[in-house]
A and B are shown apart, each in its own frame.
Chain A
Amino acid sequence: MEVFMSLTFLIRIILSLLFILSIAVSSWAVEPMEAIKQTTNKILNIVTNPVLKPPSKTAEKEKLIREAVDERFDWEEMARRSLAAHWAKRTPEERKEFLPLFSDLLERTYMKKVEDYSGEKVLYEGETKDGDYAVVKVKIVTKQNKDILVEYRLKKEGNNWLIYDVSILGVSLVNNYRTQFNSIISQSSYENLVKRLREKVELK
């Protein structure tokens, strides 16, 4: 009887430990590199899916890619950093107007790159973390055996790591847009920037 009692006690302890562990695991944030891997694999699965290959499915495929990209990119942080000093001067309405235009332009560029995918190798080179910020280095090996170094810069938002800048071969997207935006605004106006952005996005 005593043996039985101790056994149930032991089982109880094990079960409660497992329960605590499961809670702990679920609240662990995904590591930055893991986050990049998940999104990359998700997108590559969409791109290489034979069901989505025919041209009639392009719209559906693009929608799926867009969803996967939206999940991982922090558009607001990107826009804030790209507009830099000019972001502070914008009203909430102007920001609301700017964000979809900006993310649309970036998504389209990204989409084009992703859709050209033809079996390039993606190698994960490592991550550097500093508090709520992280850099994940990825090497893409093209079919011509050329290496393209990509750096994702991420920021922790709650339990999630979100991308706020991508740098390809040392060229940071945010830095590049910042210079363009600054030049356009200083030479004409913010309104002109939005106009040009809209023309670009609507042009397709």
Chain B
Amino acid sequence: MKIVWGVSILSILCLTIFPYPCIASSSPEVSITISSSEEPTLSEQEIEPIDPVTTTEPRTDSRPESAIPIRFDEGPTRVAIANVPPAPLEAEEEIGTIPDPIEPVNRAFFTFNDRLYFWVLKPVASGYKAVAPEVVRVSVRNFFSHLTTPVRLVNCLFQADVKCAGIETARFFLNTAIGFAGFFDSAKTGFNLEKQDRDFGQTLGIWGMGPVFYIDLPILGPSSLRDGLGYAVDVSFDPRTYLAIYFVAVGYVNTGGWVLDKVNEASLSLGEYEDLKKAALDPYIALREAYHQHRQSKIRK
């Protein structure tokens, strides 16, 4: 109950300090419970990607695949409903593919990253996994995630999401105080306050910028022009960056921390990349599309 008050106070503070995002947000009231999403019932079936071949060729089955959002096989009321623009939340199949003008370069980096994973990262992460118990590794993950709270908080505000900002602030204080400086995610386990995954690439997307085109960055992995720019901006929000500017030694610690973070993450998700490759006919395209769709789904939220 105290938490509810705490977050309410935070939201009031937010209203006074940052009036714009609070006014712009559709729900200025901060609530703890993350409500199961109620969505408009109009589904995505009307939205099929525009395909010149499908629209010109005779169909073999009853349901039309046309780009026109009308169901020919349904009654007149259906047609009337279907003419309403579809709800963006449900428009799963509407997502186009991401432009990839530099595919040959990207494929080269994909191969580089693939080898880096199998030859370096995976063996190191497996060794690390063998010595560090899962509890420790999850705590390491929590610790690094705790350090980057300012990045998420700033992006919550850029996205005019007060609820998100309130949750991130509350999480920061809770996890600092009772989560042993962020090693335990007590805010989630104890208070059901989930981490809000926000970054500047998303913010740009919410502001209306498209991904522009796909870039498979060496070492860093799948990205887009927008998300790459976003990453650079996020680094500038990272408190560690400032520390490194003032204390040269912190730079080395940061580099070490970054490597530990990457190895730690890999140790917690060993096998996921292998699964993706196993299920794919063209792993490069599978990864590219998975990245794009995952990012789009985060922006649409």
Instruction: Using CB atoms and an 8 Å cutoff, list the residues of chain A in contact with chain B.
Output: 80, 84-89, 105-106, 108-109, 112-113, 125-126, 128-131, 133-135, 137, 143-145, 147, 151, 153, 165, 167, 169-172, 174-177, 179-181, 183-184, 193, 196-197, 200
Contacts and interface: CB of A to CB of B under 8 A. Distances in A.
B36 interface: yes
Given A171-B294, A175-B95, A183-B282, A85 B54 contact: yes
Given A125-B36, A179-B97, A171 B290 contact: yes
A144 B138 contact: yes
Given A130-B41, A145-B188, A181-B281, A88 B293 contact: no
Nearest to B45: A133
Interface of B: 36-39, 41-43, 45, 48-49, 51, 53-54, 57-61, 65, 74, 78, 90, 92-93, 95, 97, 134, 138, 141, 185, 188-189, 194, 268, 275, 278-282, 285-286, 289-290, 293-294, 296-298
A149 to B, nearest CB: 9
Contacts, number: 111
Contact of A175 (B39, B43, B93, B282): B93
A177 B54 CA distance: 18
A171 B279 CA distance: 14
B67 to A, nearest CB: 12
B185 A128 contact: no
Nearest to B290: A171
A129 B42 CA distance: 8
Nearest to B138: A144
Of the candidates A108, A109, A134, the one having the most CB atoms from chain B within 10 angstroms of its own CB is A109
A197 B37 contact: no
Contacts of A89: 53, 57
Among B185, B281, B282, B294, residue most surrounded by chain A Cβ atoms (within 10 Å): B281
A195 to B, nearest CB: 10
